[in-house]
Structure 1
Amino acid sequence: MSPDWRASRIKDCWEKFGRASYAHRIEELYEDSDTVINSCTSDECLRDLVQEALEDALPDDATILNLKHPCT
């Protein structure tokens, strides 16, 4: 499985249902004192999609760290 194929499948799922599902889970689990770390692996574009969803789902004053995954 090539990285491009993997990223393409993830993006397809993200657009169809993944983003809404992820945002719902974050909204349900997030507490005011939390620090959220976005360290998606492999593809910067995927990390950007997750960052955008986090920013939309969480309050404006939420602490969100956008970091490269340590394995990349």
Structure 2
Amino acid sequence: MKIAIGACGGITTSQLVQLMQFLPSDDDKLELAKTAYGYVRDPDSYSTNVGEAFSYDDTQAQLHAYIHRY
């Protein structure tokens, strides 16, 4: 996944949210969101847009914590 995203010049948060819709659980979505974070072209909107793709507030909080540590 990293190679594919990196090879195409990155990914937008909108594209990432679309990919996340195909994943069955918040854990899977969180793993993808963490992996893709370093490759996004619009990081200013990342936390808000990607965070809304989760079903649970706790998962959204985990993403926010990850971003602040990144």
TM tier, smaller: 0.3 to 0.5
TM-score (norm 1): 0.39
Which protein is richer in helix relative to its size?
Answer: 2
Which protein is richer in strand relative to its size?
Answer: 1
TM-score (norm 2): 0.40
Larger Rg: 1
